[in-house]
Amino acid sequence: MLASTLYPVPLSLSAILARIFPARTQAYYDEVLEPLFVLTTSALKSFNAMAPSFVVTMTIVLIDAMLSLGLAVYEACDPMKLAATLAAVGLLARRGWSAGFMKK
């Protein structure tokens, strides 16, 4: 996945959250994700080389969702920060709907 042309996705949920909450996202990466990525990088590279592109794409989407959920759980350690995160995401989603970016 590291060599995939689909990643990093500029408009993924985790990228959006990183732009909104850069300091908290960096803390989450430093404390939680970096040790995990160090352990799994070679396995992800092997998976990317062997798996069909559709499977790799779906895996990227799943991992992005898990990273975003992980940030929310990480923030849940402080209820006020979680409430602010959810409010900001809700506000952005509402603005996206009203601006026509997320129309069906």
**pLDDT the model gives residue 100:** 53
Distance CA 56, CA 4 (A): 8
pLDDT, tens only, 64-98:
999 999 998 888 777 777 677 778 888 877 776 55
pTM for this model (two decimals)? 0.62
pLDDT band at 43 (very low <50, low <70, confident <90, very high): confident
Using DSSP's 3-state secondary structure scheme, residue 5 falls into coil
**pLDDT the model gives residue 7:** 57
The first and second tokens of residue 58, run together, are 């779906």
Using DSSP's 3-state secondary structure scheme, residue 12 falls into coil
Percent of the chain clearing pLDDT 90 (strictly above): 14
Q: In sequence order, which ranges of 1-104 are alpha helices (DSSP H)? A: 13-20, 22-28, 34-50, 53-75, 79-99
